[in-house]
Amino acid sequence: QQPVQSPQAVILREGEDAVINCSSSKALYSVHWYRQKHGEAPVFLMILLKGGEQKGHEKISASFNEKKQQSSLYLTASQLSYSGTYFCGTEGGSQGNLIFGKGTKLSVKP
């Protein structure tokens, strides 16, 4: 069952912040975050493995609440290059079964 991402789309001005949420109905081993630009392959951002784990990647960070089976991706001081579709991928139950949400389309305007 696909994890649920919200919002489906968001439009920002450069320098604004955004939060993308990902929730699952199943217990999770890990949460992956990827960004895909139109016509290109998804690019890895980060993996979170433990409940409560937080990670950062430049001005992009994420948290993982294992109990709530949720993860959030935080984008601060957004740049034009952050535009794209963000996907969370979750792995739980059957190891190796890495499934993705429907994505959140982020558009950053000048």
Partner 1 sequence: DGGITQSPKYLFRKEGQNVTLSCEQNLNHDAMYWYRQDPGQGLRLIYYSQIVNDFQKGDIAEGYSVSREKKESFPLTVTSAQKNPTAFYLCASRRGGLTATNEKLFFGSGTQLSVL
CA dist 67 and 85 (Å) reads 26
Window 25 to 64, contacts with partner 1 (CB under 8 A) = 29-30, 32, 34, 40-44, 47, 49
CA dist 47 and 58 (Å) reads 15
Burial of 19 (0-12, 13-18, 19+ CB in 10 A): middle
Check binding of 110 to partner 1 (CB under 8 A): no
Nearer residue to partner 1 within complex by CB, 12 or 31:
31
Q: How far is the CB of 45 from partner 1 (least distance, A)?
A: 9
Residues near partner 1, by CB under 8 A: 1-2, 5, 29-30, 32, 34, 40-44, 47, 49, 87, 89, 91, 94-103
